[in-house]
Amino acid sequence: MKAVVNQDVCIGCGMCAGDCQVVFELNGDKAQGKEIPADLVDKAKETAANCPVQAIEIKD
């Protein structure tokens, strides 16, 4: 699974990168998502749900 951040929606608050740094990183003023290790899928989904602007999609 992969985390995808909608670059048009992300406000660069940094929550996701701080909460789940294996999967999300800030790149300039936007977050980028990466492949999600199997043991972090639940955590990544939780982080996505907590994004204040719902910019994160978890894809198969």
Q: Is residue 20 a contact residue for ligand SF4 (CB under 6 A)?
A: no
CB 53 within 8 Å of CB 5: no
Residue 10 is a binding residue for ligand SF4 (CB under 6 A): yes
Residue 13 CB, nearest approach to ligand SF4 (Å): 4
Of 31-60, binders to ligand SF4 (CB under 6 A) are: 31, 51-53, 55-56
Binding site for ligand SF4 (CB under 6 A): 5, 10-16, 31, 51-53, 55-56
